[in-house]
Amino acid sequence: MMTFDYSASAELFIPKKGKAGVRQPLSYRRFASAAEAIRFAVEDFPAIRTLGAWMRVGDQRFNGDDIRRLYESNSYPRRGRRVRKSS
């Protein structure tokens, strides 16, 4: 199994909402670390999988399911991670 570098810089691409069937430009955000991008994607943007967002770290590309798996991994740095309370 390949080791993932959570400290590597990352780019997050999120399709903008638009009319069905009309291709929309991507919203782009750069992060100093993949851990920050993953936290943002999962905790602040929970619809990441349904909207087709993806992340690039170096030459690797990760879809929404991959991002969720990285977040849930035992290797993910937990420091500073917010805990969401259910209503």
Burial tier of 84 (Cβ tally within 10 Å: 0-12, 13-18, 19+): exposed
Helical ranges in the chain per DSSP H: 34-39, 48-51, 64-72
Q: Domain extents for the chain?
A: 10-72
Judged against a pLDDT cut of 90, whether residue 57 lies above it is answered with yes
**In this predicted structure, what is the pLDDT of residue 4?**
94
pLDDT tens digits for range 6-22: 999 999 998 776 555 55
Judged against a pLDDT cut of 80, whether residue 24 lies above it is answered with no
Place of tokens 């770290």: 57
Q: Structure pTM?
A: 0.76
Q: Residue 20 is encoded by which pair of tokens?
A: 């069905």
